[in-house]
Structure 1
C-alpha cells in the first residue's frame, strides 16, 4: 500500500523548496517507512538544490533525518514499528569496504546516496501525479513528513533523547567527529587545527576537546563563530580576515612547529593549501569540505617529504551502527553539546532555514515536523 505524504520538492536547479503532495512506494525488502520528527539541513542539500551536482530533479532531498518507524518491509530485522531511529547514509553491505567496516567507502556510494535518485535496482521511491521524482537521497530523502528508508541507513537510538536534538548526527556532526577520532587520532599534547567553524568544523572542535590534544585552533572569518568555538573547546582562534597569512598564524601559535592535524571543512583550495603548508613534519590534513567536481589543488612536493599526509574523508569513515549510538550517548551526557549549534524551524519554513544558513545566521538548522 503506497502512502501519500507532504515533501519539500526542488523542481529544478536553483529553485526554492516547495511543499508538495507526493506518493511514497510501499516498503520493499530491506526498507522501512519512517514518520519524520526532525531533519537537519546540510550544505550538501543546498549544493544539490542549486544544481551543482547531477542529482535528478525534480526531487526530494534531506539526509539528516530522525523519526519513528511506522512500517517495515520484508526481511527487516534491525528495527520495528515504534522504534526511534536516526537516518544516515546507505551502502551495499557486500562490497570489500562494506565488509571491512568502512561503508562510507562503499563501491556504490555515489549512485546509492548522492547522485542516483533511485534504489539500487533502478526503481523510484517517490512519485507525484504518476511521475517519478528524484529520491532515495542518502537512502532516505527526509525532507518529507514520511520517508522510505533503506535499513542500512537506519540506526535505532535511545528513545529518551529528543530526536530534534540529535538529527544532525546523521551527516555533518559525525563527519567532523570522525575526522578527529578516526583519522587524526590525536595523541597527548597534539595540536589540531580546524579550518572553518560551521557545523562540521565545530563538531571537529568538540571531538578534539574529548581527546588528549592540548592545542585546538579554530579558524574562520566570523567572529561570533570563533567565540562559540572557544566555548566548545578551542584553545586558540584565528580570524582569517585579520591575519596576513594563515600558515604564519598557525606557526606562531605552535612555536614554529606546525600542526599535527588539520581538518579542512571549507571546500576552498586556497585554504586547503594553507592548511597543508601549516602541517608539522608527519602531520596529517583531512579533506572534508567538497568543492565542485573536478577541482584540483597544487602542493609543494618537497614540502610533503617531511612525512606529511593529505587524506580525503567521507562521513567521518564511520560504521554508523556502532558510531551513532555512542554520539547519542555523549549528547545525552552533555559531553557533546550539539544544542549550541542547532536552530529549529518548522518544516513549512524550510526556505527561511536555507536563507539563514546561507547567510551565516544559523550554524545548523533543524526542521521539525
Structure 2
C-alpha cells in the first residue's frame, strides 16, 4: 500500500523548499520505511537546491535523517520496526572499496547518493500526482515526514539518546571527526589546524580534542565561532579577517608548521594556504567542496618534504561501527554536539536555510 507523506520539495534550481504531499513507492527487499523524528540541514542540500549539481528536480533532498523504523523489506536483517536509526549515505556493498571497509569510496557513490535521484535500477522512490520526483538522495531523501531508505543507509542506534541530538552524525559530524581520526590520526604532541569553524570544522575540533594532539588551531572569520571553537577544545584561534594565516600559524607552531590541516571551507585560496602551512610530512585533508571543475595551484618543490594532500568524503567512515561509537560519545557528554545544533519545526525549513546561509545557525536540525 503506497504511503503518502509531507515532504519539502525543491521545484527547480534556486527555488525555495515548498511543503507538498508526495507518495512513497512500496519498499523493495532491501529498503525500510522510516518515520523521521529529526533531520539535519547541510550545505550539500543547499548546493543541490541551488541547481549547482545535476540532481533531477523537482525533488526531495535531506541526508542527515534520524527516526524510527516503521516497516522493512523482505530481505532487511539489520533493523526491525520500532528500532531507532540514524540515516547516512548508501553504497553498493560489493565493489572493492565497499568490501575493504571504505564504503564512502563506493564505485557507484555519485549516482547512488548525490546525482542520480533514483535507485540503482533506475526506478523512482517518490512520486507526486503520478509523476516521479528526484529522490533516493543519499539513499534517504529525509526532508519528509516519512522516507523510503536504503538498507545500507540505516544505522541502528541506542534508543535512549534523543534523535534530534544525533541527526547530524550521518554526514557533517562524521565527516569532521573522520578527517581527524581516520586520516590524520594525530600522534602525541601533534599540531592540528582546522580551516573553517562551521559544523564540519567544529566537529573536527571536538575530535582533535579527543586525541593526543596538543595544539589545536581553529581558523575562521566569525568571532563567535572562534569563541565556540575555544570552548570545544581549540587551544588557539586565528581570525583570518584580521591576521595573515601563514604568519599566524608560523607564530603558533614556532615556525615548524602544522602536522595536520582539515580544510572545510571549499575555498581554493584557503586550501593553498593550508598546504603551504604544513610541516614536513604533514597532511592536508580536503573536505570542503568548491564548484565542480575548480583547480588549485601548488608549490611542487614545497611538497617534496613529504607533504600529503588527501581528499575526503564522509570521513572515510564505515558507518555501522563509526556512528554508534559517536552516539555513545554524545550520550556520555564527550562529544558536545548540542553546542552546534539549533532546532526548527519542519515547516520552518526556509527559515533554517536563511539562518544557516547568514551564519546564524551552525547546524540547523528540523524536527517533526
TM-score normalized by the length of structure 2: 1.00
Matched, 1:12 2:12: yes
- Residue 356 of structure 1 deviates from its aligned partner by 0.1
Distance 2:199 2:225 in 1: 10
Aligned to 1:85: 85
Distance (whole Å) between structure 2 residues aligned to residue 319 and residue 88 of structure 1 = 10
Query: Cα deviations across residues 94-126 of structure 1 (Å, max 9, x unaligned)?
Result: 000000000000000000000000000000000
Give the Cα–Cα distance (whole angstroms) in 2 for the partners of residues 27 and 82 of structure 1: 16
Residues 52-110 of structure 1, C-alpha deviations (whole Å, 9 max, x = no match): 00000000000000000000011000000000000000000000000000000000000
How many pairs align?
368
Residue of structure 2 equivalent to 1:268 = 267
**Residue 326 of structure 1 corresponds to which residue in structure 2?**
325
Distance 1:185 1:80 in 2: 35
Aligned residue number for residue 312 of structure 2: 313
**CA distance in 1 between partners of 2:251 and 2:119 (Å):** 51
The unaligned stretches of length 5 or more in structure 2 are none
Distance in 1 separating the partners of 2:303 and 2:216: 23
Match of 1:71 in 2: 71
In the alignment, the residues of structure 1 paired with residue 341 and residue 26 of structure 2 have an alpha-carbon distance, to the nearest angstrom, of 33
Flag as ranges the 4+ runs of structure 1 deviating above 2 A.
none
Measure the CA separation in 1 of the matches of 2:87 and 2:240: 35
Equivalent runs, 1:34-49 vs 2, <5 Å:
34-49=34-49
Q: Which residue of 2 aligns with 1:286?
A: 285
- Distance in 2 (CA, whole Å) between partners of 1:26 and 1:290 is 34
Structure 2 partner of 1:253: 252
For residues 1-369 of structure 1, the aligned pairs below 5 Å read 1-243=1-243, 245-369=244-368
Task: Give the distance between the partners of 1:216 and 1:194, measured in 2 at CA.
Answer: 8
Whole-Å Cα distance in 2 between the matches of residues 59 and 217 of structure 1?
A: 39
- 3-state SS in 2 of match to 1:324: helix
Q: Distance in 1 between matches of 2:49 and 2:302?
A: 38
TM-score (norm 1): 1.00
CA RMSD of aligned residues (A): 0.3
SS at match of 2:353: helix
**Superposed CA offset, 1:283-316 (max 9, x none):** 0000000001100000000000000000000000
1:257-305 per-residue CA deviation (whole Å, 9 max, x = no partner) reads 0000000000000000000000000000000000011000000000000
Matched residue SS, 2:9 = strand
1:153-201 residue CA offsets vs partner (Å, 9 max, x unmatched): 0000000000000000000000000000000000000000000000000
Q: Any idea what the Cα deviations from partners look like across 1:202-234, whole Å, max 9, x if unmatched?
A: 000000000000000000000000000000000
**1:26, CA displacement in angstroms?**
1.0
Secondary structure of 2:342 counterpart = strand
Output the CA distance in 2 between the equivalents of 1:27 and 1:163. Answer: 23
Distance of 1:193 and 1:107 partners within structure 2: 31
CA shift at 1:247, angstroms?
1.3
Offset of residue 29 of structure 1: 1.3
Report deviation, 1:256: 0.2
Aligned-pair CA distance for 1:248: 1.6
Contact 1:248 1:278 in 2 (8 A): no
| SS in structure 2 of the partner of residue 18 of structure 1 | strand
